[in-house]
Structure 1
Amino acid sequence: MRLWGVVSSSSAKLATDKVNHIKTFDEIPGPRRFPVVGTLYQYKLPGWLGGHEMSRYHIALRDMHAKYGPLVREQRGDHALIHVFDPDDVKAVFSVEGKSPTIPPLQEATQFYRTKRELSLGLGNTNGDEWYRLRSAVHKMMLRPKEVSYYLPFVDKVAIDFMGRIEQECSKKDDRIVENLRELVGKWILESAGMICFEKRLGGFAENESLVEKMIAANKQIFIIAGELKLSLPLYKYFPTPRMKRFFDAEDFFYDHASKFIHETIQEIQNLAKLGKLDANRYNFLSYLLSRKELSEKDVAIITFSLFGDGLSTTTPTFLFNLYLLAKHPDVQERVFVEIERNLGKQGGIVTVDVLNKLSLLKAVVKEALRLYPNGTEVSRIIQTDLVLSNYMVPANTHVDLNQFVHFRSPQYFHDPDNFIPERWLRDEEVGESSKSVQNHPYLFIPFGHGTRMCAGRRFAEQDLHVGLTRMVQKYRLELADPSASQEMEQVYETLLFPKHPVRIKFMPR
């Protein structure tokens, strides 16, 4: 019988003594640890010496799971880190969380930057009462479907304009391939976020295109460098390093321009309020945050900044992988198109909440894309009580990374795991008799996290994805530029996981 559970600090030693198959923390297997660097050397060594490039961190995690088992210990400098791979252990970690789970910073380099710049740290870099204060203030606005759907007409309008920009790019070439697709998707995401946060267009497809391109490039640098710093000794904390200088430059550029949008909108809201002309149906997001007495203007700015910028490195890669998979599987794409036409009608129909609720196959496509190409490598926690995980004693205050993505292509949990089968996510009554099989462990596939620290922007991201894919499949038949290429799309680690190579697709008008 598998043993996992909570052991209080006072009884931890007694439990270990009495149950001899529970092993100690020091017995948790993992790569060899050296003084000062711990296990970080493995991200500097060449592959023929057993090392991994930083950009292949996700592959390193899969290799560690295969070599050492369900629980693996790393030592990054003086910082112990436990990789948790077994979904039963993930359940054990989540089962003891209170109302304010403790996490390490989502990006330690960003936390360092915001501290140095005397900015609010935001939801992803705080814990305890401070986190709970911020989370409580934004819960209604960001996590309730009804509140998020208020922005659906804005999101749909930007998506339609995005389709027009795709056509503009395609018309320049006979092959109808958009070479800068990642950047173009980023412009759409940022433009959509601007409508949600500021209810105005940024001009990313028009007069401000050059600025938006530079903001996208800066955001990309932020995530690449943050991923590299995560797998390096934190020397930047003690003296300025060239890499950290580049990081600060990129953060400054993105933050300064985003802040300009934020503070211009706040000023507009305050001016209209003074004149008694503030329409209750305008500036919904920022007006709500400003109305919360527990939030300072610093808090309002950083929360808005996070929602505005985070989609560039979360929604963008997920959307690209969805396009790739739909282009690779024209049979699935056609079934999605039929579903869209049945519920939305011909081009010109309005995307409503009711329409989106009926697009069950399209939503299953998004889930299946996240299974085959997960957006990230872990959900992180600092456990607040001693736990027995995979029969090892893990003491309180240990940093654990929940890396269950290593099972997303495992036949133990998924039928025909390497194949793209969106129907596996549909209810039986939606697909009839089917051999589909999907994991039934509730703590395996949780791409947006779990519990009170679930991704705060989840519903906005899902709305962007569903609307964007609806308009894309409605207007274009997606074809791979090189259908004869047998090599599957790979991922590259940039704090999150992106396509390793440009996604090259032909956009054929329907």
Structure 2
Amino acid sequence: MLARRCRFICRFQTNRAVAMEPRDVDWQRARRFEHIPSIQKLSLTLDMSFPGGKYKNLDLSQLMMALRRDYGDIYRMPSLFGSEPMVITYSPRDFEEVYRHEGVWPSRPGNDTMRYHRLTHRKDFFQGCQGLIAQGKEWGEFRSIVNPVLMQPKNVRVYYKKMSQVNMEFVQLIKAKRDLKTLEMADNFIEDINRWTLESVSVVALDKQLGLLKGGSKDEQTQLLFKSLDEFFRYGGTLDVKPSLWRYIKTPMFKKLMKAYDNIQITTLAFVNEALERLERESQQGLVRPELLKKNKQVATIMAMDLMLAGVDTTSSAFTAALLCLASNPEKQEKLREEVMLVLPNMDSEFTEASMMNVPYLRACLKESQRMRPLAITHARKLEQNCVLSGYKVPADTTVMMVPIPALSSEQYFPRATEFLPERWLRNEEKAECPALRTTYPFAYLPFGFGARMCAGKRIVDMELELGIARIIRNFKVEFNYSTENAFTAVMFNKPNIPLKFKFTDLNK
């Protein structure tokens, strides 16, 4: 018995040593951290901040591409006016190394201005609860409360019927507001898309519709929310990424951003409080409901705010990207319509959980649109342990920014990368026109991030996009007869940058 136990221990230790050996060897062979190409602080500050600087007027995506052109696929970014120094990498293999070793409570850097607003500027309201931007144990406890609501498919699916109602109202809004002769939407169609998105998010976050697609008394409040969300992404994207003195001096832009955060807090809180009052009344009547707002009140309030903060403009951008791709590829749109008509035999048919299990081409279209017109510009983590990235030693506690954009349009990872080919995502090889088109490396495509800190609203966004696109394609032929050059601009993420004059032609059946 003792001999067998000794042999088992020896075998376990040997296997453990073998399992760890490649990583140890890679570390020993890797080049020193100091040998990673580095950007000089003064030159970067001049180039990004002063007139005539070569990076001065670039949006975030253009900046990332320009830095890659000048410094390569991995380089060190210095600390600028109190921001953290970081390593920036464009390699999907580095992404995997970072994500595979991110620890139990992954540290996700960024959102410094929002963190200041919640911990300092409005600490009386948030009382130390940072919501989804928290770190460490606090983040773990927050996610443990909200994950069962947001991340489990069975809980998200209970909103199918209400989402279906929202989408039918959106169809009616399009019919009412499009030009009678051209059948095109007005230049400000993005505002209607934002209303649809906020209405959809509210179904989950507040378990109710706000009536935004029908106009009404909340229009002024809604306009303030949309204006403040736009300012949040515009100013926040600048102050959190580019050189700024806000950590030392409260600059005019910083003050505008704090005001935007305040307005977002005020408007979303009004919606949340109204929902909480309704739930309290229903609770007294003995009704049992499954939604988020039955949870811890403070957590529920802040989570609902975070959903509306992060889930409106971002989902609108993803929806716009999908519509542009389908409008530019009518043969793919028709193929999608054939599938959608099987699950929605009539234009006003209801979505069901069973029918939405059979829409592989719809999901493939959404994946391909997110590849061609990605939402996220960067993902970031603070390393929990030493890693070897692109052959360099990168020590624990280093902030790493991962930029996926070049890989998404690279022939190395996506053959025929410039073409909109949903078929590359189909699982059944017999259905795929060209199975060889599939990605050659899974970490090249991570639109919602990866691991424990992937986007908390992923399942909600997926559901919104699937139901929304399906309803539109079932009711209309979608066209876009204008240039799509510079269709998006990058702030914290890619936002529509052109008038969305989509043409919606009614289908006959």
TM-score, normalised by the number of residues in structure 1: 0.88
Tell me the SS of whatever aligns to 1:380.
strand
> Could you report, residue by residue, the CA deviation over 1:237-259 in whole angstroms, capped at 9, with x for unpaired residues?
33322111111221111210110
CA contact (8 A) 1:170 1:178 kept: yes
Q: Does 1:393 align with 2:393?
A: yes
Tell me the SS of whatever aligns to 1:29.
coil
Give me the whole-angstrom Cα distance separating, in 2, the residues matched to 1:134 and 1:488: 41
Give me the whole-angstrom Cα distance separating, in 2, the residues matched to 1:226 and 1:40: 18
The AA in structure 2 aligned to 1:286 is L
Q: Which residue of 2 aligns with 1:85?
A: 90
Give me the whole-angstrom Cα distance separating, in 2, the residues matched to 1:305 and 1:261: 9
Give me the whole-angstrom Cα distance separating, in 1, the residues matched to 2:93 and 2:239: 31
Q: Which residue of 2 aligns with 1:403?
A: 403
Distance 1:433 1:423, change over 3 A: closer
Tell me the SS of whatever aligns to 2:303.
helix
Query: Which region of structure 1 is more displaced relative to structure 2, 364-373 or 90-99?
Result: 90-99
* 1:339 CA drift (Å): 0.7
Q: Which residue of 1 aligns with 2:79?
A: 76
The AA in structure 2 aligned to 1:264 is E
Query: Which region of structure 1 is more displaced relative to structure 2, 191-200 or 461-470?
Result: 191-200
Pick one of 59, 64, 68 that aligns with 1:61.
Answer: 64
Tell me the SS of whatever aligns to 1:259.
helix
Q: Which residue of 1 aligns with 2:464?
A: 464
Q: Does 1:240 align with 2:250?
A: yes
Specify every segment of 5 or more residues in structure 2 that has no aligned partner in the other structure, as ranges: 1-20
TM-score, normalised by the number of residues in structure 2: 0.89
Give me the whole-angstrom Cα distance separating, in 1, the residues matched to 2:459 and 2:324: 23
> Could you report, residue by residue, the CA deviation over 1:73-103 in whole angstroms, capped at 9, with x for unpaired residues?
1113152111121111111111212221111
Q: Does 1:223 align with 2:233?
A: yes
- After superposition, where does 1:489-504 map in structure 2 within 5 Å? 489-504=486-501
Pick one of 94, 106, 109 that aligns with 1:104.
Answer: 109
CA contact (8 A) 1:269 1:278 kept: no
* 1:394 CA drift (Å): 1.0
Tell me the SS of whatever aligns to 1:225.
helix
* 1:433 CA drift (Å): 5.0
The AA in structure 2 aligned to 1:366 is L
Q: Which residue of 1 aligns with 2:446?
A: 446
- After superposition, where does 1:119-130 map in structure 2 within 5 Å? 119=126, 120-130=128-138
Give me the whole-angstrom Cα distance separating, in 2, the residues matched to 1:121 and 1:42: 37
Tell me the SS of whatever aligns to 2:320.
helix
Pick one of 8, 30, 36 that aligns with 1:28.
Answer: 36
Q: Which residue of 2 aligns with 1:416?
A: 416
* 1:368 CA drift (Å): 0.6
Query: Which region of structure 1 is more displaced relative to structure 2, 381-390 or 71-80?
Result: 71-80
Tell me the SS of whatever aligns to 2:78.
strand
Q: Which residue of 2 aligns with 1:39?
A: 44
Give me the whole-angstrom Cα distance separating, in 1, the residues matched to 2:329 and 2:50: 38
Give me the whole-angstrom Cα distance separating, in 1, the residues matched to 2:369 and 2:410: 15
Name the Cα RMSD after superposition: 2.3
Q: Does 1:254 align with 2:264?
A: yes
Distance 1:31 1:490, change over 3 A: farther
Tell me the SS of whatever aligns to 2:417.
coil
Q: Which residue of 1 aligns with 2:18?
A: none
Tell me the SS of whatever aligns to 1:351.
coil
Query: Which region of structure 1 is more displaced relative to structure 2, 308-317 or 331-340?
Result: 308-317
Distance 1:272 1:360, change over 3 A: closer
The AA in structure 2 aligned to 1:74 is M
Pick one of 88, 94, 100 that aligns with 1:95.
Answer: 100
Distance 1:252 1:455, change over 3 A: same
Distance 1:202 1:93, change over 3 A: same
* 1:448 CA drift (Å): 0.6
Q: Which residue of 2 aligns with 1:284?
A: 291
Distance 1:368 1:449, change over 3 A: same
The number of equivalent residue pairs is 480
Give me the whole-angstrom Cα distance separating, in 2, the residues matched to 1:192 and 1:108: 28
Give me the whole-angstrom Cα distance separating, in 2, the residues matched to 1:428 and 1:199: 36
CA contact (8 A) 2:344 2:474 kept: no
Tell me the SS of whatever aligns to 2:311.
helix
* 1:184 CA drift (Å): 0.7
* 1:425 CA drift (Å): 0.8
Q: Which residue of 1 aligns with 2:166?
A: 158
Tell me the SS of whatever aligns to 1:164.
helix
Q: Does 1:371 align with 2:368?
A: no
Give me the whole-angstrom Cα distance separating, in 2, the residues matched to 1:443 and 1:404: 9
CA contact (8 A) 2:46 2:53 kept: no
CA contact (8 A) 1:336 1:362 kept: yes
Query: Which region of structure 1 is more displaced relative to structure 2, 311-320 or 72-81?
Result: 72-81
Give me the whole-angstrom Cα distance separating, in 1, the residues matched to 2:456 and 2:114: 18
Tell me the SS of whatever aligns to 1:101.
coil
Tell me the SS of whatever aligns to 2:40.
coil
Give me the whole-angstrom Cα distance separating, in 1, the residues matched to 2:219 and 2:35: 55
Give me the whole-angstrom Cα distance separating, in 2, the residues matched to 1:315 and 1:346: 26
CA contact (8 A) 2:208 2:275 kept: no
Distance 1:470 1:377, change over 3 A: same
Specify every segment of 5 or more residues in structure 1 that has no aligned partner in the other structure, as ranges: 291-296
> Could you report, residue by residue, the CA deviation over 1:302-322 in whole angstroms, capped at 9, with x for unpaired residues?
111111332112101010111
Give me the whole-angstrom Cα distance separating, in 1, the residues matched to 2:210 and 2:432: 46
Give me the whole-angstrom Cα distance separating, in 2, the residues matched to 1:336 and 1:87: 30
* 1:396 CA drift (Å): 1.2
* 1:502 CA drift (Å): 2.1
Give me the whole-angstrom Cα distance separating, in 2, the residues matched to 1:435 and 1:195: 38
The AA in structure 2 aligned to 1:58 is S
> Could you report, residue by residue, the CA deviation over 1:463-488 in whole angstroms, capped at 9, with x for unpaired residues?
00000001101111111133xx4x54
Tell me the SS of whatever aligns to 2:441.
coil
Distance 1:66 1:238, change over 3 A: closer
CA contact (8 A) 2:178 2:185 kept: yes
Tell me the SS of whatever aligns to 1:72.
strand
